[in-house]
Amino acid sequence: MALPRIALIVLGGTIVMVPQDNGGIAPGLTAEQLLASVPGLGDIAALEVVTKQGLPSASLSLSAIAALASEIDALYQQGVDGVVVVQGTDTIEESAFLLDLLVQSDQPLVVTGAMRGPAMPGADGPANLYAAVLVAASPAAAQLGALVVLNDEIHAARYVHKAHTYLPSAFTSPGAGPVGVVVEKRARFHFKLPVSIKYNVLPSFECAPVALVKIVLGDSGWMLDQLLKLEYAGVVVEGVGAGHVPAEVVPNLQRLAGIKPVVLSSRIYGGGSLTGTYGYAGSEIDLLHKGLISGGFLSGIKARLLLSVLLGRGEDPASVRSSFAQYLDHATF
């Protein structure tokens, strides 16, 4: 029986970083050297390596990830059964979610990386790559959107969050948990998620610039007023608690929402923003009545990406509001 064809796209990240003369680590391993460090890969898949410029994930761009989405769909059309993207973990929850929005195929798509460089004791890169290829080779991973696989856990891109700066167990999915695990050389899934909406765009597509603002204790709203003068196409506000701001900030947000789409999320990753519980000045009910758009369960950084895609597609504020509601409705039970 033929092995599944898996395309391996290597963008860089800690998984390929080796010690430098300055005492730190930086990209150094080739894709071939990376594969050589993972025994048994050839027994589970026929790998086709696609090497990109090795970059730390903080230096990846939205345009590069949007272009990658088109390349991934082209690979599926060429007959690959699954795709694994290897990158740095710093922004993995963002790039995986953007791919989740833009890749049109329902074939398995996995993003992975490493928390420890290959020269460090307990390097997790080889195990993560092995697990990611196993998941991408599993037919059960189809129709689940983009998945993030690290530490033998399988997370959905719409929920996953990096919750620690250096532990191998850094990734969690607040409010949902992993959708599955890798055990005994098999991908085992606990449950299937609703198929979320995909956004078809041209290969030349560019995400629109969207600002992300976190509300803090004693916030005056000064930064929101500055955004009135800047060329951001939209704004995401991470409110405190369930999506709240100081009462004195409400006029700033109302002015801003009268000019460009403003999405309300929570700075707390578990639970998301509410829509109808609190009714005081600066609460979610107050802000939504004043023109803000609910970000629902999406974290601020993921609401920013969805808003960037919608505005990049040319949607007007009314359409953006409708599209957010539609996405949130389709992405959850």
Handedness of CA 164, 165, 171, 175 (dihedral sign): positive
* DSSP structure class, residue 244: B
Q: Element (H or E) spanning 67, and its range? A: helix 62-77
Report phi then psi at 307, rounded to 5: -65, -40
Nearest alpha-carbon partner for 87 in 117, 56, 131: 56
Q: Rounded to whole angstroms, how far apart are CA atoms 115 and 17?
A: 11
The label of the residue with tokens 């689940």 reads: 144
Distances (CA, A) of 122 to 64, 112, 165, 168, 186: 31, 17, 16, 9, 22
Distance of CA 2 to the CA centre of its chain: 32
Of 196, 194, 215, 174, which is closest to residue 306 (Cα–Cα)? Answer: 196
What span, in angstroms and rounded, lies between the C-alpha atoms of 303 and 158? 10
Residues annotated as catalytic are 14
